[in-house]
Amino acid sequence: MAGAVIDPRGVEIQPTHTSRLTFDGALGKLALGAGVFLAIFFLVGELFLRVVYWEGESFSAHRGPMVQRLERDFKLNRFDGPSRGPEPSGPKHPEGTRIVIQGDSITWGQGVRHEEQLFSSQLLTKLREMDRHVDMAVLARPGREIDEHLQQLKKWGPELQPDVIIYQWYINDMELDKKLRPRTDRIWRHPYAVYSMLQKNSYLCFFLDFSLDTVLPSSILSYESYLSNQFKEGSDGWQLFEQHFSDWAMLAKTLTPRVIVALYPHLSLQRGAAPVMRPEIVDIHTRVLALCRANNLVCVDLSTSLTKFEDARSIKVSPFDDHPSAEVHSVIAEALYEMFRGGTVNVLSSSDGEGVQGRGTAGSEKIH
């Protein structure tokens, strides 16, 4: 109708959803992009680490797929643990010498790729140059403390009939009750079921978890402060360890008068710096040395050799693990071998019919 006037009040205006749809679409695209980015990051990171660490790698946290890869070809012996290191190939030779070595992850060789690099294997090779009838049984497992060493000696000692017992000691052997040990509880480790699955199967998740836990600050007490508090002289923790150590020493000496304690020190290993022992650790180390003397045991203080290293990196088995390197295992083997070669404990030719013979410690205490 020409000239008609439309009353705007009679026109119904339809609402528009353009703005809301645009926002939802952008949010969806952002979420999709983030998901694609994370998937690519995960796949590329996983592939990269699996290529770079094709042979696996050692971490102070003794778990995860990279550690399992490293340890896939480790040769374990028949003793509990599973243990790792030399074992007798048959009955004890009538004129031979049998050495039993007890220890934790250090003796077990965490991070050391080949059995011949273990200090136990190197020591056996050296001693067989003196007496071809020397054999050895290694009772070692990561995480084993003094109470378990005592039980292992009760179980295997009578059967093995050792002529020499060597006990590799480390500071965590005192921790008979680990409930108070400092532990970090990171937010990304929840829910635990998901975290545990990823950490056990993914190189990337394991590596990120370890790296972030190492570099991020933590409010918990340092391990050294915890040790100095819980194991100060006269404390319940120290007295409990002291009793177990004395019980172990008494049992060892009923099996053989020739007992050696190899004291592996807890050192501060800073990149590019020489290894040092913190003052609170020196106190514990000194008390353990005194405990060895009180129980009339020969003691090899390995801190003397290890603090001569100019760079702590030479001591570490990997950039991520403070356990001793193959080079340090050689140093330990040499220090123990010197106890035999120097006359503290002698392995003589089997034709002499004397086997192993004790002569004394640096403190002039007789062991025979």
Domains and CATH numbers, the chain: 77-182+221-358 (3.40.50.1110)
Tokens of 156: 């295997």
Alpha helices of the chain — where are they, by DSSP H? 18-52, 65-70, 105-108, 119-128, 146-160, 192-201, 203-215, 223-230, 236-255, 279-294, 303-306, 326-341
Tokens 């990196």, residue?
313
Spans of the chain, pLDDT less than 70: 1-21, 23, 346-368
Given a contact cutoff of 8 angstroms between Cβ atoms, the answer to whether 331 and 305 are in contact is: yes
Q: Which pLDDT does position 10 carry in this prediction? A: 58
Q: Which pLDDT does position 258 carry in this prediction? A: 95
Q: Which pLDDT does position 29 carry in this prediction? A: 82
Q: What is the pTM of this model?
A: 0.86
Tokens 């890869």, residue?
69
Tokens of 186: 């990171």
Q: What is the pLDDT of residues 193-213, one digit of tens each?
A: 888 899 899 999 999 999 999
C-alpha distances out from residue 80 to 126, 136, 150, 232, 342, Å: 26, 15, 13, 32, 33
Q: Which pLDDT does position 8 carry in this prediction? A: 56
Tokens 């392995």, residue?
347
Distance CA 110, CA 112 (A): 6
Tokens 């690519």, residue?
40
Number of residues written out for the chain? 368
Distance CA 165, CA 99 (A): 6
Bridge partners of residue 260, in order along the sequence: 166, 298
Distance CA 110, CA 323 (A): 7
